[in-house]
Structure 1
Amino acid sequence: MPDVQSTTPDVRINLTRVGVKNVKKLVEVSRPDKRPVIFISTFDVFVDLPGSLKGANLSRNFEVIDEVLQQAIDGDVKEIEDLCSIVARKLLDRHEYADRTEVLMQSQFMVKRETPVSHTSCHEVVTVHARAVARRTFREPIVRKSIGAEVTGMTACPCAQNIMKERAMYVLQDLGVEDETVEKFLEKVPMATHNQRGRGFLCIEIDDDQHLKLEKIIRILKESMSASIYELLKRGDESYVVLSAHNNPRFVEDCVRECAKKVLAEFSYLPGDSLITIKQTNEESIHQHDAYAERKATMAELFVELNGEHQ
C-alpha cells in the first residue's frame, strides 16, 4: 500500500506540532522496597513536521508510549518526568524527519495522608504535571524535562483579620478588660477572618540529568498556604486546622513568595537556569471572584532577588 504520509503536500509549509492528544494510559512506576506508584494519566505527544511531508506517522507515537510504559513496569524508569524524557528521545528515533519532539503528561496521583490530631487515615488526589522536550543536534539530543503538581489548601485573609482584631480590642476595652490582658488574649486566640480554598501550582524545568522528588514539590506547595486541608476530619482535627490557618494568615501573593523561598532552600543544588513556575489561585468566600498570583523565573533570578532582600 502507498505511504500517503510520505508524499509531498499541496501546501508546503512546516508545522510546529503534529501528534496525538488525550491518550489515556495507566502508568505504573516501580519503587525499591515499596509498592509501585500508580498514575492515571493523559498524554499529549507531538513532533514537528517539515513542509516536504504530507503527514506524520502517528502510530509510532502510540508504539513508543507503550514501549516506555512497559519499561516503567519492569523497573527501568524510576521517576515520572524521566518517563516523558525517554518517550521524547525515542520519538526522535522513530520520526527521523523531526527536529523537535514534545511530551506532556497530566496525571491523577492518590496520596495517603493522616490527620494532625486523631491520626485518621485518608486520601487526597493530587494533579501531577510532567513534560519533556527533545531537540535533535549533530550529537546527542538536548532534552529538557519538567515535573510539577497542583494541590489544594486553605488560606486565611490577613486584612479582614486585622479589622476583626481591632474591633475585638475596642469591645474588650469597653468591657473593662485591662490592656495587658487584652494583648495576652489576642496573642493566644487569633481573630476571625474569611477563608479561601487555595490551589497552588509548582513546576520545575531542569536538564535531563537532574532529578527531583515529586513528594518534595507537593510538600512545598502545602506549606506555602495557611494550612493543609483533609478529606476527613474529627473534631480535634478540625479545631487544629482552623486554628493553624488563622495563626498563619496569607494573601495569594504571600503563597507564591513563600513557595519561591522554599524552592530555593529545598533545591539549592539545581543549576541557575532551572526554570521555576509558581501559580496560586484562591477561591474567595466573600467575593464572587478568585484571587491570583504567579511568578516564573530561573533559580538564579530568584536567588539574586531574595539575597538582595537581606542586604
Structure 2
Amino acid sequence: MNNTELKNKKTLPSKAERHKLFGSVEPGPKTKPVDKEKMVDLQNSKKDFLFDIDAVGIANVKNPINITSHLIPNNQTTIGTFRFTSRIDKDSKGTNMSRFTEQLDAYYKNNYSIDIDTLKRFTKDLAIRLKQKDAQMEVNFPWFFERKGPSSGLAGLNHADAGIKVTYDQDKGHHIEVTLAGTITTLCPCSKEISEYSAHNQRGRVEMTAVLSEDFDENETDWKEALLEAAESNASARIHPVLKRPDEKIVTEQAYENPRFVEDIVRLVAADLYELPFVEKFTISCKNEESIHLHDAVATLSFDKNTDA
C-alpha cells in the first residue's frame, strides 16, 4: 500500500458489533417447546371452521425437472414451476404445507420424469400424505425442440411453453389437462387481397388447453408434439431459429401462399384437435402481434366432444 491508501484505511468494529449498530439484539428467553411432538399443531386443529375450502396449498414453486420428448432433444432438463393444492373440509383449520415440498423433493431425488403416468402416481401419493381424498398438481415449463431450415437443413432449438395439470380424486380417479403455447407466422389475407404487391405479416401465439382421455398412452403419442403440430401446420409459416437465404425465400413464399386471420387459425387448429382421439375437450386462442397496428388481433374457440358443442 502507498501512503495515501494507508491514510484512508478504516478500522471497522467487529461483525457482531456492526450487527448491533444496525439494530440486532441478543436472543430473549425461550419458553416454548423445541421438540416437534410437544409443539402446538394449529393446522390439524379440529373444530367447525364454517366453510369447506376448494383448494389450499402452495404455488410458484420452482424445481429442476426431467422431461422426455419424441422430438430432438429426446431427454432434457428444464425448470418447472409448480402449484400443489388439496381441498379441506370445514372441520379442519388448515393443511400441512411442508408435505407438498417434501413429496416434490422425494420424487426429485428419485430422478423422476415429468410424464403423465408419473404425475398420476404423484397426486395419489400426495393425497395419501395429506390424509385427504384429493390432490391437484400443476407444472409449467419451457419445452425445447429441434427445428431445421427447410432448404439448408441447418438446425437450432425452438421452444414452446408447456404445462400439465393432474387432479386426483379418490372417488372419480384422475383428470388430466395439458397446455401448450407456441409461436407461428401469420400473413394477413386482407392485406394480400387489396395490395398490388406484398402483404403484411405478424408473429402469432397459439395457446391450446386440452383435456386428455383417462386411457391416454404417452408412450405411443407425445401430446406436446401433437399440439405443436396442430398449431404450426395450420399457420402461414413456421418459426425457425436458423434461416439462410434459400430458407428465407421458402418461408416467405410459404407465408404468402397461406394467408391466415386469427379466426382461421383457431378454426383450423380446432379441426386438428377434434381429430385427435385422445383429446376430449379443448380451448384454443390465437393472438397476432400486428405489424401495422399498435393493437393485437385475438380469437378464442372452445369445444367439448362429450357435449358436441
- The TM-score bracket by the shorter chain reads 0.7 to 0.9
- Match of 2:297? 291
| Distance in 2 separating the partners of 1:199 and 1:255 | 10
1:45 equivalent to 2:84? Answer yes
Q: Does 1:142 align with 2:173?
A: yes
Output the CA distance in 2 between the equivalents of 1:84 and 1:295.
Answer: 28
Indicate the percent of aligned positions where both proteins have the same amino acid: 27
Are 1:91 and 2:101 counterparts? no
Q: TM-score, normalised by structure 2?
A: 0.79
RMSD: 2.4
1:246 lines up with 2:268 in the alignment = no
Displacement of 1:208 after TM fit? 3.3
Q: Deviations over 1:79-106 (max 9, x none)?
A: 633343322212211122x333221111
Per-residue CA distance 1:191-246 (angstroms, 9 max, x = gap): 41111110011222123321341212111111121100112211111111111111
Q: Whole-Å Cα distance in 2 between the matches of residues 300 and 50 of structure 1? A: 31
List runs of 5+ in structure 2 lacking aligned partners. 1-38
Equivalenced residues, count: 266
Residue 62 of structure 2: aligned partner: 24
2:292 and 2:44 map into 1 onto residues whose CA distance is 59
Contact 2:143 2:159 in 1 (8 A): yes
> What corresponds to 1:7 in structure 2?
45
Letter in 2 for 1:26: P
Select the structure of larger CA radius of gyration.
Answer: 2
What stretches of structure 1 of length at least 5 have no aligned partner?
Answer: 169-190, 306-311
- Give the partner amino acid of 2:122: V
Change (3 A) 1:26 1:236: same
**Aligned runs of 1:246-285 on 2, under 5 Å?**
246-265=256-275, 267=276, 269-270=277-278, 274-285=280-291
CA distance in 2, matches of 1:110, 1:249: 27
Deviations 1:5-39 (A, max 9, x none): 1114684322111101011111113579x852323
Change (3 A) 1:279 1:230: same
CA deviations on 1:131-177 (whole Å, 9 max, x unpaired) are: 1111222xxx511112221110100010111001xxx3xxxxxxxxx
**Structure 1's 48 and 11: CA in aligned 2 closer, same or farther, altered over 3 A?**
same
Residue type of the alignment partner of 2:186: T
> Is residue 224–residue 256 contact of structure 1 (8 Å, CA) maintained in 2?
no
Task: Answer yes or no: is the 8 Å Cα contact 2:208–2:285 preserved in 1.
Answer: yes
Q: Structure 2 vs 1, CA of residues 35 and 162 (structure 1 numbering), >3 Å: closer, same or farther?
A: closer
Q: Distance in 2 between matches of 1:9 and 1:225?
A: 57
Contact 1:81 1:146 in 2 (8 A): no
Match of residue 5 from structure 2: none
The correspondence for 1:230, drawn from 234, 240, 247, is 240
Q: Which residue type is aligned with residue 260 of structure 2?
A: R
Q: Indicate the SS of the match to 1:3.
A: coil
Structure with the higher fraction of residues in helix conformation: 1
State the alpha-carbon separation in 2 of the partners of residues 253 and 21 from structure 1.
34
Q: Within 2, Cα distance between the matches of 1:192 and 1:215?
A: 32
SS in 1 for 2:243: coil
State the TM-score, normalized to the length of structure 1: 0.78
The answer for the alignment partner of 1:215 in structure 2 is 225
Indicate the residue corresponding to 1:57 in structure 2: 96
2:192, 2:74 → 1: CA distance? 45
User: Which amino acid in structure 2 is aligned with residue 161 of structure 1?
Assistant: K
